């Protein structure tokens, strides 16, 4: 039984080695010539003109969370559509509950005004 997992273990070891060795080689072999321009803080090529710790509007986060939720919805809908015939009524009811919960959450956010940009 252990023979079946040996290729997976070897693959994990190689992946871990590449993931650790490549950045170390870049750090050790890369040029280290800092100057005043490289060491100065900047924003898109300009000098910093405000505090980096300024409060950030929470609506950006809400839109990002909405994007992730509906992106995950697509990630669940595509495999479900592929095996729709094999799932039968159980799959139909489960996906209906899933889409219903997403719809309720979306309506709740909409009614709370989280999507308004004034």
As a whole number, mean pLDDT of residues 48-67 equals 75
Give Cα 68 distance to the centre of its chain.
7
Average pLDDT, the chain: 85
Percentage of the residues of the chain whose pLDDT score is greater than 70:
89
- Whether residue 4 has pLDDT greater than 90: no
pLDDT at 45: 61
User: Measured between alpha carbons, how far is 46 from 51 in angstroms, rounded to an integer?
Assistant: 14
Distance CA 76, CA 117 (A): 29
SS3 5: helix
CB 95 within 8 A of CB 80: yes
First to last CA, the chain: 62
pLDDT at position 44: 62
- pTM, two decimal places: 0.49
Mean pLDDT of 85-91: 90
Environment class of 110 (CB within 10 Å of its CB; exposed 0-12, middle 13-18, buried 19+): exposed
* pLDDT for 70 beyond 70: yes
- The pLDDT assigned to 48 comes to 64
Residue 42's pLDDT is what?
66
What is the topology classification, in CATH, of domain 2-112? Answer: Methane Monooxygenase Hydroxylase; Chain G, domain 1 (1.20.58)
Residue 40 is predicted with a pLDDT of 73
d(CA 36, CA 54): 26
What are the tens digits of pLDDT across the range 22-52? 999 999 999 888 887 777 766 566 666 666 6
């Amino acid at each position: 039984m252990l023979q079946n997992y040996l290729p997976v273990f070897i693959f994990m070891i190689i992946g871990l080695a590449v993931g650790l060795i490549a950045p170390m080689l870049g750090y050790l072999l890369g040029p280290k010539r800092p100057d005043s321009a490289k060491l100065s803080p900047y924003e898109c090529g300009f000098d910093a003109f405000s505090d980096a710790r300024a409060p950030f509007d929470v609506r950006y986060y809400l839109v990002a969370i909405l994007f992730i939720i509906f992106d995950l919805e697509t990630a669940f809908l595509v495999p479900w559509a592929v095996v729709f015939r094999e799932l039968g009524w159980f799959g139909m009811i489960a996906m209906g509950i899933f889409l219903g919960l997403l719809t309720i959450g979306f309506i709740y956010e909409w009614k709370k005004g989280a999507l308004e940009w004034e």
